[in-house]
Structure 1
Amino acid sequence: MPLMLPADSMFLIGESREHPLHVGGLQLFRKPPGAGPDYVGELFRELLTHTDVRPLLRRRPADPVSIAGQLWWTDDRDIDLEYHVRLSALPRPGKVRQLLELVSRLHGTLLDRHRPLWEFTLIDGLEGDRFATYTKVHHAIVDGVAAMALLAEMMSPDPDVRGIPPVWADRPERRSTGGRSKGVAELLATAVKALPDTARDVAGVAGAAATLFGRAIQQDTAGLPFRAPRTMLNVPITGGRRFAADSWPIERLRAVGDAVGATINDVVLAMCSGALRRYLAEHQQLPDRSLVAAVPVSVRAEGTGTRGGNSIGMVLCPLASDLTDPVARLVSINRTMTETKEQLAGLSPVQVQMLAATQAIVPLLVNMTPGSNHLVAPTFNLFISNVPGPRERLYWNGAELLGTYPVSIPFENQALNITVTSYAGSMEFGLVGCRRSVPRLQRLLGHLEDSLAELEKEVLVD
């Protein structure tokens, strides 16, 4: 039985009915030319023939009812594929709003720990000769970058290519190159060999943490744990979810960023800041102090995405939401993120993860403790993630991928999550909120557009 890494096992140990800890993705497709009326049904039946499941997606906890059993993986050799792969349909002609409602319901249900931790739903009935897929995988199995790598494996830039197996199917080339999980003895031997490097990492991260925290104290910013203001988003949550999604052209964001010397990710954060200002203000809940976002940082080595697991760090970024000037908000975010990236540039991947633990992850676990929201200030107000995606337009056995929208995780006392991915010239925003605690979530999409338009008006010259 392979041992789980601590970064993976915490997503199982911390899960409850109110806190599902799986990530998901909604993919929107146009049917290929010449597709018949039963195209999706035929596709579903063909998918069920791919019974050779990749090792990563055969994993389940060794003992689902024991905390100790959630520290070890076991491989399921008798997978009930008809349980994991499902066909659903919207009442024709299905609207995008109905599709988002369906994904909201699917995303709120827990994965069965007695089975491998993933589900794939094929969705028929969408208007405009389209169909969709919704995939969810436990965060103990993959992070956002790994999920995008798995998705890319079942796509091709060539619309004429056929015979591409689905995301769960094993590939002959991977079987020939190994990819087995390490056993306990092997993991321990590797850890012993790495002790000198680990000692250096520990010594180095202390200085980096001192520098980051010292700068935050000196500048009186909110980029410290337990310094975020308490808002309507920082409350206990339920297991019900609401999902909203939309796309924006990357060129719009790039033009704004170039005008002030900021990155596209800085503009994403500034869009979110302006949208949250509007949303909280219309609920009469806008705090005087700046909101703080936890921004995940990938430390995954290139080409290792399909191996799964979690390889992420995290930084805290004040969103300057207390400033009324949209350009001033963007400049402040850019300054914070630039200084943080300069500090992280000299650290190893292990040090980045250790720094994330001291700055955000351990405080997050404190905030997830029932009743803690009455005792300490929030660690941060929400997650805002930006996951790089494919740059070219992709096809799945001739079906054009029109959009791919991330569906991520709200946490206890962080009732809203905003995750963004890039695809073929667009930035695809996926917003997930607690159904009870984040009312009228879809209004945030309009606020995101207003926030970007406001920046364009201020910085772009006709």
Structure 2
Amino acid sequence: MDSSFVAMESPNSPMHIGSVLIYNPATAPGGFVRFKDILQFIGSRMQLSRTMRQRLVRVPFDLDYPYWVEDPDFDLEYHVRHVALPKPGDWRQLCIQAARIHARPLDLNRPPWEFTVVEGLDAVEGYPPGCFAFVTKVHHAAIDGMSGIDLMEALHTLTPDAGPPSKPDSWKPEKIPGPVELLGKSYVNALLNPLKQAQVAAKALPGVAGVIKGLVSRDFKLSTDLVPPRTRFNRTISPHRVVEGRTFDLAQFKSIRALLPEAKVNDVAIAVIGGALHKYLSAKNDLPKTTMTAMAPISVRSSNEKGDMGNQVAAMIAPLGTHIADPAERLAYVYSQTNNSKAMTNALGARRMTEVSKVNPLFYMALGAQLFSRVSLAHRLAMPFNTVVTNVPGPPVHIYSSGARLESMSLSLICLTDGLGLAHVVQSYVDEAYISFTACRNIMPDPEFYSQCLQDSFEELLAAAKAVTASAPEKAASKKAASPASKPTKPKAKTATPKIAERKSKRKA
């Protein structure tokens, strides 16, 4: 799976993910942070992340998967850059700068990550003067959403004055293997691959049986709602990007579940995105009659794989309810559809789904990816989903980098491919929730409008939830008032009539 992101890399589709992190230096010593302080801080903690000093080495002709090698020429100052926004330095300029940085491919002859420190955020609303940002880029071959959180933990502390790790750094560079050595390894792996394919096929059989059993017992169903319509987002993309997003109060986000208490926060996020797409495409007179769908990644990373590099994810298809205007009805629809998709994914086995990717030869993956891009097949073929919605939980407490407090994880950046011109990330941090998106600039030239659609969709759901919460006491009171007055109660039984009292005394005698 990691190799598939290497195979899909192209000038129009760089396969890295990232985020925009905003820091307040007021908590740092002296109330400010210098660029050299950031370099020193990151350098002192690199032993906590396996990702940071390893580079990819590709096998000639892609006859085998690439290898990770400890880079003998590692240079921290190459990976950590420094820029400033032009004045006035507002939110829109920050988004434009982040999109430009994100659109540039990484150098895969070096460890595949870059951090850009961005100063000059003085006019970004909601943040005090002097704040700075990190725009991060890490190749998707190195991390998924959950291992990205581990990287965040390596580069942050729980207190502003925490010192460097107590253990000495035992890292050692490695020699870059030559073509002959790599071809020798690929030959051995090619001999073993048929055996691996047979093992994967055997492991897949219980999942297929589980799906058949689930369909027969109607634990889930194959619905036409899982078939995506053709949209403007599902065509060949350009190399240009736009990024935007919205910040919400996490408590308010969770309160929307009053519309449907059994719904999860992820269902609420999908319903918000479905409503935003309904509004955006309605304004363009381009709304499909059937629901759009999203690919929702599912982490299958076990507890003992927490610090491992690479990707441990499966996926499910989540209908977005874009064809439903009413927010409460849309949430109910999303909840029922995600439950159906989860049941199907569980029957198949999310972990088994990832095993299949381990035996796909890289040569064919790379050839297929290049053919798909060069022939513009995205214009001709139907895509299996319209967009991506990935949910990445953030830290529930404030964290610090170089002594500066992380104020916001407001934007997450995600890779796009031909046929996938819009992708979303849902994230949380302390008491805030974020929905951000990355899009091809040619496909979505007005990201501010779509961002407003996200806000409007959220407010509609919140208003509907507040109406339900406000009406609950009134319904309870009216139900109590409407109960029959003649129904006897225990207190009334004490005030018996004389005849009843006489009968009771006789029974006692």
TM-score for the superposition, normalised by structure 2: 0.76
- Tell me which amino acid in the other structure corresponds to 2:251: E
Contact 2:255 2:465 in 1 (8 A): no
| 1:107 aligned onto 2:102 | yes
Range 96-105 or range 391-400, more displaced: 391-400
Work out whether 1:203 is the aligned partner of 2:205: yes
Counterpart of 2:67 in structure 1 is 72
| Structure 2, unaligned runs of 5 or more | 123-128, 172-181, 359-364, 471-509
Shift of 1:8: 0.6
Could you say if the C-alpha distance between residues 48 and 288 of structure 1 is closer, same or farther in structure 2, counting changes exceeding 3 Å?
A: closer
Relative distance call for 1:271 and 1:32 in structure 2 (3 A) is: same
Matches within 5 A, 1:5-20: 7-20=1-14
The one-letter code sitting in structure 1 at the alignment partner of 2:405 is E
Cα distance 1:231–1:52, how it changes in 2: closer, same or farther (>3 A)?
closer
Partner SS state of residue 341, structure 1: helix
In 1, are the aligned partners of 2:113 and 2:138 still within 8 Å (CA)? yes
Pairs within 5 Å for 1:285-434: 285-302=286-303, 304-345=305-346, 348-353=349-354, 370-404=375-409, 405-434=411-440
CA-to-aligned-CA distance 1:10-55 (integer Å, 9 cap, x gap): 1011110011100111111111347669733342453575496654
- Name 1:24's counterpart in structure 2: 18
Structure 2: distance between partners of 1:213 and 1:272: 29
Q: What is the RMSD of the two structures over their aligned residues, measured on CA atoms?
A: 3.5
For residue 286 of structure 1, give the secondary structure of its aligned residue in structure 2: coil
Deviation of the 1:193 alpha carbon: 11
C-alpha contact (below 8 Å) 1:249/1:426 kept by paired residues? yes
- In structure 2, the CA distance between the partners of 1:370 and 1:145, relative to structure 1 (3 Å rule), is farther
Match of residue 179 from structure 1: none
C-alpha change, 1:355 and 1:279, in structure 2 (3 Å) is farther
- Equivalent residue number for residue 3 of structure 1: none
Measured in 2, the distance between the counterparts of 1:173 and 1:348 equals 41
Say which SS state the counterpart of residue 318 (structure 2) adopts.
strand
Q: Which amino acid counterpart does residue 225 of structure 2 have in structure 1?
A: A
Residue 117 (structure 1) aligned with residue 112 (structure 2): yes
CA, structure 1 residues 78+42, in 2 after alignment: closer, same or farther (shift >3 Å)?
A: closer
Question: Matches of 2:68 and 2:28 in 1, distance apart?
Answer: 44
* Higher relative helix content: 2
Shift of residue 212 of structure 1? 7.6
Q: Deviations over 1:58-85 (max 9, x none)?
A: 2223248843475333331121222111
- Pairwise CA distance, 1:155: 2.0
Select which of 447, 453, 464 maps to 1:458. Answer: 464
Report if aligned partners of 1:145, 1:298 keep a CA contact under 8 Å in 2: yes
Which residue of 2 is the match for residue 130 of structure 1? 131
Give the 3-state SS of the residue equivalent to 2:34 in structure 1.
helix
Give the secondary-structure state (helix, strand or coil) at the position aligned to 2:138.
Answer: strand
Deviation at 1:187, TM superposition (A): 9.2
Q: Deviations over 1:243-292 (max 9, x none)?
A: 11221112112111243121100000000000011111111211111101
Within a 5 Å distance, the mapping from 1:178-189 to structure 2 comes to: none
Matched residue count: 436
Mapping for residues 272-287 of structure 1, pairs under 5 Å? 272-287=273-288
> 2:301 is aligned with what amino acid?
R
SS in 2 for 1:32: helix
Cα distance, 1:188 vs structure 2:
11
Match of 2:481 in 1: none
Contact 2:18 2:136 in 1 (8 A): yes
In the alignment, structure 1 segments of 5+ residues that lack a partner are 1-6, 166-170, 177-182
CA distance in 2, matches of 1:232, 1:195: 38
* Partners of 1:162 and 1:397 within 8 A in 2: no
CA contact (8 A) 1:266 1:330 kept: yes
Q: Residues 148 and 51 from structure 1, CA distance in 2 versus in 1: closer, same or farther, beyond 3 angstroms?
A: closer
**TM-superposed deviation, 1:378:** 2.0
Larger Rg: 2
Determine if the alignment matches structure 1 residue 222 to structure 2 residue 225.
yes
Paired residue type of 1:67: D
Say which SS state the counterpart of residue 306 (structure 1) adopts.
Answer: coil
Asked whether the 8 Å contact 1:367–1:378 carries over to 2, the reply is no
Is the 1:234–1:415 Cα contact (8 Å) retained in structure 2? yes
* Aligned CA distance change for structure 1 residues 256 and 38 (closer, same or farther; 3 Å): closer
Corresponding letter in the other structure for 2:442: R
Contact 1:48/1:82 (8 A) holds in 2 = no
Q: Work out the CA distance in 2 between the residues paired with 1:94 and 1:59.
A: 35
